[in-house]
Amino acid sequence: MRRLPPVLLEDGCSRELLSLIRTILAACKEISFRVGQGALSGVLGSTLDENIQGETQKKLDVLSNQLLKDILLESGTVKAIASEEEDYTVAGNPDAKFIVAFDPLDGSSNTDINSLVGTIFSIMEAPAGSDAADQSIFMQPGHKQVAAGYVLYGPSTMLALTTGKGTRMFTLDKTQGSFLLTQDFAEIPADTNEFAINTSNQRHWQPAMQNYINDLLAGDTGPRAKNFNMRWIAAMVGDVHRVLSRGGLFTYPTDTKDPKKPNKLRLLYEANPMAMLVEQAGGIASTGTERIMDIQPDAIHQRVAVILGSKNEVETCLGYHK
């Protein structure tokens, strides 16, 4: 089985980018161990603090963020980082080429019930001559990403990674500490009968999404004339992993539950990297009105609606939004 470094070098990945990816994965291996220890290491439960998103931080949120932050800044491979758990960007090596945005522990509310969680990351090049302390260096559309991925902490620890030449899956061999290639090129089936959405918010959705989901729920007696299954893990990383593994549609649409926050998912370190992974596997990623990776960011914690997955099903969903 091929290991991660040679595979990426075969794709023409620079050694500088490969070094950065390996640095991120070193932190993820430690996070995987801490998540696996669970209650044995006293890392479950919440802190008394809230992050910039107004969300109560889990102990593992704080721990995971600190591990990634420390190892990236100490490595000298990044000019700056942006994290879900940091109010502002953090400057690193002023001479480094890359910047990294990450969600250190997506789905952290699942840690207390021993369900799926993961780390999501996005890598871009810093503009030439830019200031490491200037957070505007992160204001780049998703198509500027040079690499994106997530590490899923489940029964096995898995890495989904793209450097712009397809999406590959790796599994952590915990006996050797290496990520081994287990799926060379993921390909999302164009058609599906699975969808993932938080239906508890249904009354708050816009009419287009209301109508689309109602038609799915009507099954073979409705206009779609086939039955659909709903799946919901409550962690984007888990739901997207299922889409990459066997197809499906995942969406967190705009809603009116909190008028100040009509969208849930963050563009830079959730929507963009997942969109790149999905598109590189033959799927589509949209807000309902535009391609996610074409959005020009205006804030590091900017939120967007997300509809992604199997090409034909996403296109059907988008048809309801026209």
Residue 192, both tokens: 């599906």
Query: In which element (H, E) is residue 246 found?
Result: helix 236-246
User: Residue 291, CB half-sphere, CA atoms under 13 Å: how many?
Assistant: 11
C-alpha to C-alpha distance for 148 and 140, rounded to whole angstroms: 14
Binding-site annotation, residues for Mg(2+): 84, 103, 105-106, 270
311 by DSSP, 3-state: which? helix
Please identify which residue in the block is written with the tokens 């479950």.
Answer: 44
Q: Are 283 and 152 in contact (CB under 8 A)?
A: no
Q: How big, in percent rounded to 5, are the helix, strand and coil portions of the chain?
A: 40, 25, 35
Taking the C-alpha atoms of residue 91 and residue 89, their distance in angstroms, rounded to an integer, is: 7
Per-residue CA distances from 293 to 73, 124, 156 (Å) = 27, 13, 30
Burial class (CB in 10 A: 0-12, 13-18, 19+), 207: exposed
Residue 320 main-chain phi, psi, to 5 deg: -70, -20
Concatenated DSSP letters of 65-91 = HHHHHHHHHHHT-EEEEEETT-SS-EE
Q: Give the whole-angstrom CA distance, residue 163 versus residue 275.
A: 13
| Strand 157-162 versus strand 167-173 pairing type | antiparallel
**Which residues are documented as binding site?**
84, 103, 105-109, 198, 264, 270
119 neighbors 28 (Cβ within 8 angstroms): yes
